[in-house]
Amino acid sequence: MLPFPSPDVVIAARAGDGSARDQLMASSLPTVLAWCRRLGGPRVDPEDAAHDVLIVVLTRLPSLRQEERFGSWVFGITRRVLAKHRRRSWVKNWIGGEMPDIADATADPVRDTELSELAQQVEGILGQLPPAQREVLVLCDVEERTDEAVAALLGVPVGTAKSRLRLARAKFRRLARGRALAPQFVGLTTWGQG
Amino acid sequence: MTREREALKQFGDETRSHGPDVSRLQERLREEGWVRDPGLAAPTGILAAFRRWSEPLEDGAHRVAARVRASMALGRARNRGLMLAGVAAAVALAAWPRTAPLDVQLQDGADSPAFVSETGRLALTYDGEGTVSGTEQAPRMQWRSGSVDVEVEPNRGTDFRLVTPEAEVRVLGTAFSVDRNALGTTTLVSRGRVSVQCVGGEEVELAAGQSITCWPTTPAGLLGRGRRLIAADPPAALAALDRGAELAEPGPVAVELAFARLEALVTDGREADARAAANEWLAVGAGHRQPAVAELAATLALRLDGCAGAQSELAALSAGDPLLEGCR
């Protein structure tokens, strides 16, 4: 699980401490970038989106009242920014503009060749899930956060998070079977493994 | 009772009534989420592959951080009212972002040494002087002095060119820095590929991590490069000074090039060559450097051959010179 800054750092950054703001950005950026990549879908440039999220975070930081809920606050901003970027990408599609590629999709050839095909299929399946299920599946099963941590990030009761996760897993499984992922998927989920 | 136990109890009831169809029930338990699915939950499954693939790369985070800093710097400038004119122009031109003209003066020592074009295609962080013109689609930059980090948003077909007196740098979506100083124009590519053509040279293509320095093209510029390199790299200094001497017309710059060449020879440990060059130069007249060159030639002669061997050089010194007195 990727880290967030401590409440002390958030308080100092909110008060205008330059080094605390740098620290806050440095510790939040990997998490935000990962969210943008995992939740944005193939048509959103994750670096563009992460940039916009960080701008909003830094400019609206003085309005944050509960520093202990910084992670949840950032997640909410990320969700809104990604929705905006997705809308933009559809508009661009309709008017025939240029479509961004994922910025780092080919940055590491080894990683690209080994993981890209399977991961992009997973990305496609995630894109077919309802947003709430996609979020909970990514936060729980991709980023390995606890149910309680995910519930806190999403601002919902733990039971709701678990329920969403259950539905998300079931739907993910159905969609995976509908694709060519079935052999790998079934092989990895044989009863009794793990 | 846990959910799993409830499910198992139900399983027992069903097996009693329908017989033990284990595989069907196993499947149902997984489908309904009663049993934690190792393929989804464990990091060894396909979601783990997705996680590794989607893990943010360090350079991506650095790029975003740099863009955020530049944007924030731009925002502060805007808040201070320094960018009001630019904002008004950008709003007016928002409908034509690809052809929106750029006209920006980048000043050394600016409060906010960063520039991001309205469409975000071009981001600059600078410590020097230059101008940006052209359009959002085809920005043209004249860089006069200092260093500038350039980031051109990839995959948007932006045709960016940066020109200095020594080099033209062309790029289609990448990040690089340009530093123009006494040594010339150095281009360092941090991401993507960049084409650089030094004035009078071949066009070369640089990949990430590669750099090239285009030398100054004027005698005065080559003199500056030579002087800068004398202490650190005398052979490189000599190369620059020799090229400057080839281009220089007779005059003060030519004299300084020749004098710097003597310094470079001495620094390089080639004292005999320096002595010979000094004497050759004295024979045709060393201009405003004549006394200094004579002094240098005599010093080198004394060091190499002692008083007896340095008579001709000592004779060129004016009466009362300490070197001359030392050999009496």
- Tell me which residue of B50, B71, B123, B69 sits closest to A102, measured CA to CA: B50
pLDDT band at residue B240 using 50, 70 and 90 as cut-offs: very high
Pick the last residue of a domain from A105, A122, A141. A105
- Same domain for B189 and B223, yes or no, is no
- Same domain for A93 and A132, yes or no, is no
pLDDT band at residue B244 using 50, 70 and 90 as cut-offs: very high
- Same domain for A86 and A153, yes or no, is no
Pick the last residue of a domain from A70, A85, A105. A105
Residue B157, pLDDT above cutoff 70: yes
- B72 and A173 within 8 Å at the Cβ level: the answer is no
The Cα A112–Cα B44 span in angstroms is 18
Q: From the list A46, A122, A166, which residue is nearest B50 (CB)?
A: A122
Q: Which residues of A touch B121 (CB under 8 A)?
A: none
- Same domain for A63 and A99, yes or no, is yes
In this predicted model, what pLDDT tens digit does every residue of B275-291 receive, in sequence order? 999 998 888 888 888 88
Q: In which domain, by residue range, is B17 found?
A: 3-54
Q: Is residue A82 part of a domain?
A: yes
Q: Which residues of B touch A37 (CB under 8 A)?
A: 54, 56
- Same domain for A134 and A89, yes or no, is no
Q: Which is more confident, B3 or A161?
A: A161
Handedness of CA A43, B207, B224, B229 (dihedral sign): positive
- Same domain for A13 and A61, yes or no, is yes
Q: Which residues of B touch A189 (CB under 8 A)?
A: 30, 37-40, 45
In this predicted model, what pLDDT tens digit does every residue of B94-141 receive, in sequence order? 544 556 678 888 887 666 577 887 777 788 888 888 999 888 888 899
- Same domain for A67 and A45, yes or no, is yes
Q: Tell whether A63 is within 8 A of chain B (Cβ).
A: no
- Same domain for B258 and B300, yes or no, is yes
- Same domain for B101 and B208, yes or no, is yes
Percentage with pLDDT > 70 across chain B:
76
For chain A, how many helices (H) and strands (E)? 9, 0
Residue B228, pLDDT above cutoff 80: yes
Q: Which residues of B touch A120 (CB under 8 A)?
A: 53
- Same domain for A26 and A97, yes or no, is yes
The Cα B75–Cα A69 span in angstroms is 26
- Same domain for A10 and A81, yes or no, is yes
Backbone angles phi, psi at A104, to 5 degrees: -105, 15
Pick the last residue of a domain from B172, B195, B214. B214
- Same domain for A95 and A127, yes or no, is no
- B56 and A98 within 8 Å at the Cβ level: the answer is no
Report the domain count for chain B. Answer: 3
Question: Helix, strand, coil % (nearest 5) of chain B?
Answer: 50, 20, 30
- Same domain for B31 and B137, yes or no, is no
- A30 and B56 within 8 Å at the Cβ level: the answer is yes
Q: Which residues of A touch B61 (CB under 8 A)?
A: 29-30, 33
- B51 and A142 within 8 Å at the Cβ level: the answer is yes
Tokens 């996680």, located at residue: B51
> Is the ipTM here above 0.90?
no
User: How high is the pLDDT of residue A99?
Assistant: 40
Pick the last residue of a domain from A80, A105, A130. A105
- Same domain for B62 and B170, yes or no, is yes
- Same domain for A111 and A178, yes or no, is yes
Shortest Cα–Cα distance, A174 to chain B (Å): 9
Residue B315, pLDDT above cutoff 80: yes
Question: Helix, strand, coil % (nearest 5) of chain A?
Answer: 75, 0, 25
Q: Which is more confident, B62 or A98?
A: B62
Q: In which domain, by residue range, is A129 found?
A: 107-189
- Same domain for B195 and B236, yes or no, is no
Report the domain count for chain A. Answer: 2
Shortest Cα–Cα distance, A83 to chain B (Å): 19
CATH value at residue B300: 1.25.40
User: How high is the pLDDT of residue A129?
Assistant: 86
The Cα A103–Cα A14 span in angstroms is 31
CATH value at residue A150: 1.10.10.10
| A49, A81 Cβ separation under 8 angstroms | yes
- Same domain for B289 and B207, yes or no, is no
pLDDT in tens, chain A (194 residues): 456 788 888 888 888 888 888 888 888 888 999 999 889 887 888 888 999 999 989 888 888 888 888 888 999 999 888 888 888 776 655 544 444 444 444 445 554 555 567 777 788 888 888 888 899 988 888 888 888 889 988 888 888 898 888 888 888 888 877 765 644 443 333 322 32
- Same domain for B17 and B83, yes or no, is no
User: How high is the pLDDT of residue B151?
Assistant: 83
CATH value at residue B190: 2.60.120.1440
For chain B, what is the mean pLDDT?
A: 78
- Same domain for A1 and A79, yes or no, is yes
- Name residues 65-124 of chain A within 8 A of B (Cβ): 98, 100-101, 103-104, 107-108, 111, 115-116, 118-120, 122-123
Q: Is residue A194 part of a domain?
A: no
- B61 and A103 within 8 Å at the Cβ level: the answer is no
The Cα A111–Cα A95 span in angstroms is 33
Q: Can you list the pairs that A96-101 forms with residues at least 24 positions away whose Cβ atoms lie under 8 Å?
A: A98/B155, A98/B156, A98/B157, A99/A43, A100/A43, A100/A44, A100/A45, A100/A48, A100/B155, A100/B156, A101/A45, A101/B154, A101/B155
